[in-house]
Chain A
Amino acid sequence: MVVRTWRHMQERYNLIGKKCTTCGKVYFPSRKVCPECRRKGEMEDIQLSGKGIVYTYSIVRAPPKDFQKESPYIVGIIALEEGTKITGQIDCDLDKIEIGMPVQTEFRKIKEDGKSGVISYGYKFVPTVH
Chain B
Amino acid sequence: MKDIAIIGYGQTKFGELWESSFRELLVDSGVKAIENAKVDGDDIDAMYVGTMSGGLFVGQEHTASLIADYAGLNPIPCTRVEAACASGSLALRSACMSIAAGQHDVVLVGGVEKMTDVADPTGAIATASDQEWEAFVGATFPSLYAMMAKRYMYEYGLTLEQLSTWSSIAHENAVNNKYAQFRSKVSVEQVMRASPVADPLTLLHCSPVSDGAASMIVCDADKATDYADKDDIIYIKAFTQASDTIALHDRPNMTTLEAAKVASNYAYKMAGVGADKIDVAEVHDCFAINGLVLTEDLGFCKKGTAGKFIEEGNTRIDNDKFVTINPSGGLKAAGHALGATGIRQVGELYWQLKQDKECKDRQSAINNGYGIAANVGGTGGTVCTHLLSVDR
Question: In the bound complex, do residue B196 and residue A87 qualify as a contact, i.e. CB atoms below 8 Å apart?
Answer: no
Question: In the bound complex, do residue B199 and residue A59 qualify as a contact, i.e. CB atoms below 8 Å apart?
Answer: yes
Question: In the bound complex, do residue B198 and residue A60 qualify as a contact, i.e. CB atoms below 8 Å apart?
Answer: yes
Question: In the bound complex, do residue A58 and residue B151 qualify as a contact, i.e. CB atoms below 8 Å apart?
Answer: no
Per-position 1/0 for B234-262, Cβ under 8 A of A: 00000000000001111000100000000
Question: In the bound complex, do residue B133 and residue A64 qualify as a contact, i.e. CB atoms below 8 Å apart?
Answer: no
Judged by a CB distance under 8 angstroms, whether B142 is at the interface is yes
Judged by a CB distance under 8 angstroms, whether A41 is at the interface is no
A112 to B: closest C-beta gap in Å: 13
B274 to A: closest C-beta gap in Å: 30
Per-position 1/0 for B130-149, Cβ under 8 A of A: 00111111111011001111
Tell me the nearest residue of chain A to B139, going by C-beta: A75
> Cβ of A77: which chain B residues have Cβ within 8 Å of it?
147, 248-249, 254
Question: In the bound complex, do residue A87 and residue B140 qualify as a contact, i.e. CB atoms below 8 Å apart?
Answer: no
Picked from B142, B198, B247, the residue with its CB within 8 Å of the CB of A87 is B247
Main secondary structure of the interface of A (DSSP, over half): strand
A contacts with B, residue count (CB < 8 A): 32
Question: In the bound complex, do residue A62 and residue B250 qualify as a contact, i.e. CB atoms below 8 Å apart?
Answer: no
Judged by a CB distance under 8 angstroms, whether B226 is at the interface is no
Per-position 1/0 for A88-130, Cβ under 8 A of B: 1100000000010000000000110000000010101000000
B205 to A: closest C-beta gap in Å: 12
Judged by a CB distance under 8 angstroms, whether B18 is at the interface is no
Question: In the bound complex, do residue B150 and residue A87 qualify as a contact, i.e. CB atoms below 8 Å apart?
Answer: no
A92 to B: closest C-beta gap in Å: 14
B122 to A: closest C-beta gap in Å: 5
Alpha-carbon gap, A57 to B134, bound state (A): 13
Q: How many A-B residue pairs have CB under 8 A?
A: 95
Alpha-carbon gap, A87 to B151, bound state (A): 14
Alpha-carbon gap, A67 to B134, bound state (A): 13
> Cβ of B151: which chain A residues have Cβ within 8 Å of it?
55-56, 99
Question: In the bound complex, do residue A56 and residue B154 qualify as a contact, i.e. CB atoms below 8 Å apart?
Answer: yes
Question: In the bound complex, do residue B136 and residue A120 qualify as a contact, i.e. CB atoms below 8 Å apart?
Answer: yes
> Cβ of A60: which chain B residues have Cβ within 8 Å of it?
138-140, 142-143, 198
Judged by a CB distance under 8 angstroms, whether B197 is at the interface is yes
Known: A56-B147, A65-B123, A99-B154. A110 touches B132 (CB 8 A): no
Tell me the nearest residue of chain A to B148, going by C-beta: A56
Question: In the bound complex, do residue B138 and residue A61 qualify as a contact, i.e. CB atoms below 8 Å apart?
Answer: no
Tell me the nearest residue of chain A to B122, going by C-beta: A64
B370 to A: closest C-beta gap in Å: 34
Tell me the nearest residue of chain A to B203, going by C-beta: A62
Question: In the bound complex, do residue A65 and residue B142 qualify as a contact, i.e. CB atoms below 8 Å apart?
Answer: no
Per-position 1/0 for B149-163, Cβ under 8 A of A: 111001000000000
Tell me the nearest residue of chain B to A122, going by C-beta: B137
Judged by a CB distance under 8 angstroms, whether B108 is at the interface is no
Q: Which residues of B contact A (CB under 8 A)?
A: 120, 122-123, 126, 132-140, 142-143, 146-151, 154, 195-201, 247-250, 254
22 example contacts (A-B, Cβ-Cβ < 8 A) are as follows A8-B132, A29-B132, A56-B254, A57-B147, A58-B142, A59-B198, A60-B138, A60-B143, A64-B120, A64-B122, A64-B135, A64-B138, A64-B140, A67-B138, A75-B137, A75-B138, A75-B147, A85-B250, A87-B133, A87-B137, A87-B139, A89-B137
Q: Which residues of A contact B (CB under 8 A)?
A: 4, 8, 29, 55-67, 70, 73, 75-77, 85-89, 99, 110-111, 120, 122, 124
